[in-house]
Structure 1
Amino acid sequence: MLTNPKAHEKIFDQLAKLYCDLFTHDGFGDIRIEMRILRRNQKEIIIHCGKQYRYVLDCDQALASESAIKHLLKRDLLS
């Protein structure tokens, strides 16, 4: 149970804002919360939030801009 819920409002507001931001993001994302115990009966709360943009390309198209030798080597490795 939270001893002082008022002290946590800023953190909850930030989490809600980040959640909405990731939900509307046109891609992948993640939120992670880290808590560390500090001295003097304190805790440090760290919110990690990242967005990811992922793309999938066909191998032939992805290899088209490379030299002919690299293209043949990678094509052999990927098949």
Structure 2
Amino acid sequence: MSINGKTYMSDASMPVKKRLLELVDELIAHDGFGSIRVDIRLLKRGQKEVIIDCGKQYRFVVDFQPAAELVDSK
């Protein structure tokens, strides 16, 4: 979805956002050091693989619509 020239993910990305926020909360509460790394790769058929690395790896595949397609559909 595109609003005011910015591209936003669909509801399919909500599990990714939820896990990321949970991990940030855990790291802030942790009594030591921590880090989070997020890698995003384009896949075929309008999908992206999102890998959240925070000691463990959490992998998600989410659907997306490229920005060029959003402009053409209006």
* TM interval, short-chain normalised: 0.5 to 0.7
How many Å separate the matches in 1 of 2:26 and 2:8? Answer: 26
Query: Alpha-carbon deviations, 1:2-47, whole Å to 9, x = none?
Result: 242x111111110110001000111100011100111112110000
Structure with greater Cα Rg: 1
1:13 corresponds to 2:3: no
Unaligned runs of 5+ in 1: 51-79
TM-score, normalised relative to structure 1: 0.57
Q: When you count strand as a share of all residues, which structure comes out higher?
A: 2
Relative to the length of structure 2, the TM-score reads 0.61
CA distance in 1 between counterparts of 2:53 and 2:14 reads 18
Q: Which has the higher helix share?
A: 1
Identity value in percent? 43
Give the count of matched residue pairs.
49
